[in-house]
Amino acid sequence: MANEVVRVEDSVVVEGKRRSLAALLRWSGMVLVSGGLLMAAATALHPSLETATTILESEVRLVAAHVLYTLSYLLVLLGLPGVAGMLDG
């Protein structure tokens, strides 16, 4: 009888891990998509040539683009474990 309880508990733990993996994959996908969208927005906002004149003329755009790039890279890094989890399991 004790073995049956252990089996039930084991299946509950496995079931919980499956749900948490599914949630991780779902959130990772959304984070990766938003990171990609921010990266596209940063690319559109960033001046194509970065010279001393361009930096002085469009400093606000340049700073905003770099902030968006930084946020997009962080989101992509946060989303990568979900991709690894999907490939692994």
pTM: 0.68
**Domain range summary for the chain, segments of one domain joined by +:** 2-88
Rounded to whole angstroms, the Cα distance separating 42 from 47 reads 10
Dump pLDDT digits (tens) for 42-88.
999 988 888 888 888 888 999 999 999 999 999 999 998 888 877 87
pLDDT class of 18 with cuts at 50, 70, 90: low
Using alpha carbons, list the distances in angstroms from residue 71 to 1, 54, 65, 80.
54, 23, 10, 14
Rounded to whole angstroms, the Cα distance separating 35 from 23 reads 18
